[in-house]
Amino acid sequence: MHHSPITIRSRRLRGASAAIAGIAALGVALAGCSSTAGPDPDTGDPAAEERGSLTFVAGVKGDPFYITMSCGAQAAAEEAGLSFDFQAPNSFSPTDQIPIVDGVAAAAPSALLIAPTDGAAMFAPIQRVVDAGTNVVLVDTALDDSSTVRSSVRTDDYAGGVEAAKLLAELIGGSGEVLLLNFQAGVSTTEARGKGFVDTAEQLGLTVVGQEYGGTDIEKGAQIVDATLQRHPNLAGVFTTTDYGAQGTVASLRNAGELGSVKVVGFDASPVMVEQLRAGDIQGIVSQQARTIGELGVEQALAAMNGEATSESVIEVPTVTIRAEDLESESAKAGLQVERCN
């Protein structure tokens, strides 16, 4: 499929740090989107259609992480003169995501950014998109076999888990029992966060009393922490790999009268998590640079559309560690997430 040449100001990235540096050229202050659920689905610019089209399929609708990523992706796409379409399933599951991806295959846009909801189940649907002539770039999550996609841009989730363990160890004084409240078995990102956390926590002398999965169910997360407190009354800390888990953890600790006594480190600086941090309900956040991932994903897609080699088969973006006193710092702002684009 031929498209007219599209220029991009930063190419040939060399590793994550170079990739992030290249984003500055795209302009992080570009005009974003205005929808509460993500970016506007269509720019309405006929000329943009001629230059190419880009679709972003997120992991789940309404998640601040994906909304923030879409803001960066749309801004970068519009800067390059591409039309932009945003879609997301109602739940983080192949069942809801596959019909959306099949629709993308039929539409055959120039490029697709996608966060697969399952590394195995989403391979065939995404392959159908590739077979239709669309350049595919994975963002956030990965496929078990990514040999036919053009690139993958994601957080260094294992390193994020390492940072969470270091922070929690510091908060609880270097020893004690801790719980890992994870998201969903088989999800590449959160599994890597959990492994990084467990490996490092054990090296630091912490006792990981269990790994439990709460999914997007806040009440289930609260019940898991309730049960853990019953079995381990001396529980010193909790690391939760999602903001859903953080909300459930805070609810449980508040009901048990342990809020502030049991230290909590969450993952992703969503607006809810930031408010919890300001209030002292949680003590730290390890956050992804969601907007940067969206921008880098578009950059990789543009290179593929121009027939150029993508800079790296995998680009891993580092996390940002945030305490309450860090919230106004420039480094922290790179990890803050939004519920609507500016």
- Place 310 in a pLDDT band, splitting at 50, 70 and 90: low
Q: Do 207 and 88 sit in the same domain of this protein?
A: no
Per the structure, the count of domains in the chain is 2
How do 263-267 and 235-240 pair as beta strands? Answer: parallel
Q: Do 190 and 125 sit in the same domain of this protein?
A: no
Q: Is the pLDDT of residue 14 over 90?
A: no
Q: Do 98 and 62 sit in the same domain of this protein?
A: yes
Is 297 within a domain? yes
CA 83 – CA 220 distance, rounded (Å): 40
Q: Is the pLDDT of residue 20 over 80?
A: no
Q: Do 168 and 265 sit in the same domain of this protein?
A: yes
Token pair of 42 as six digits? 């269509």
Residues of the chain with pLDDT > 90: what percent?
Answer: 80
CA 56 – CA 85 distance, rounded (Å): 6
Is 334 within a domain? no
Is 37 within a domain? yes
- Place 16 in a pLDDT band, splitting at 50, 70 and 90: very low
Is 47 within a domain? yes
Is residue 178 a contact partner of residue 170, using CB atoms and an 8 Å limit?
no
Q: Do 311 and 283 sit in the same domain of this protein?
A: no
Residues of the chain with pLDDT > 70: what percent?
Answer: 85
Mean pLDDT for 75-102 is 97
CA 246 – CA 240 distance, rounded (Å): 6
Other CB atoms within a 10 A radius of the CB of residue 317 amount to 23
The whole-angstrom distance between residue 20's C-alpha and the CA centroid of its chain comes to 16
pLDDT one-digit tens code per residue, 207-227: 999 999 999 999 999 999 999
Calculated CA dihedral for residues 142, 145, 151, 152, nearest 10 degrees: 20
Q: Is the pLDDT of residue 204 over 60?
A: yes
Token pair of 267 as six digits? 């993952």
CA 189 – CA 180 distance, rounded (Å): 15
Average pLDDT of every residue of the chain: 87
Which is nearest to 189 in space by CA: 60, 74, 67? 60
Q: Which domain holds residue 61?
A: 15-149+290-317
Q: Do 68 and 111 sit in the same domain of this protein?
A: yes
Q: Do 265 and 300 sit in the same domain of this protein?
A: no
Is 10 within a domain? no
Is 4 within a domain? no
SS3 103: helix
CA 100 – CA 63 distance, rounded (Å): 17
| Whether the predicted model's global pTM rises above the 0.85 cut | no
Token pair of 312 as six digits? 């790296």
Q: Do 308 and 257 sit in the same domain of this protein?
A: no
Is residue 250 a contact partner of residue 276, using CB atoms and an 8 Å limit?
yes
Q: Do 267 and 251 sit in the same domain of this protein?
A: yes
Q: Do 86 and 30 sit in the same domain of this protein?
A: yes
Q: Is the pLDDT of residue 32 over 70?
A: no
pLDDT one-digit tens code per residue, 95-122: 999 999 999 999 999 999 999 999 999 9
Q: What is the CATH number of the domain that holds 82?
A: 3.40.50.2300
Is 323 within a domain? no
Q: Do 234 and 164 sit in the same domain of this protein?
A: yes
Token pair of 316 as six digits? 């891993």
Asked which of 238, 268, 287 is the last residue of a domain, the reply is 287
Q: Is the pLDDT of residue 40 over 60?
A: no
Q: Do 179 and 275 sit in the same domain of this protein?
A: yes
Is 326 within a domain? no
Per-residue exposure over 131-153, b if at least 16 CB sit within 10 Å of its own CB, e if not: ebebbbbbbbbbbeebeebbbbb
SS3 141: coil
Amino acid identity, position 96: D
List for the chain the helix, strand, coil content (%; round to 5): 45, 20, 35
- Place 342 in a pLDDT band, splitting at 50, 70 and 90: confident
- Greater pLDDT, 328 or 4: 328
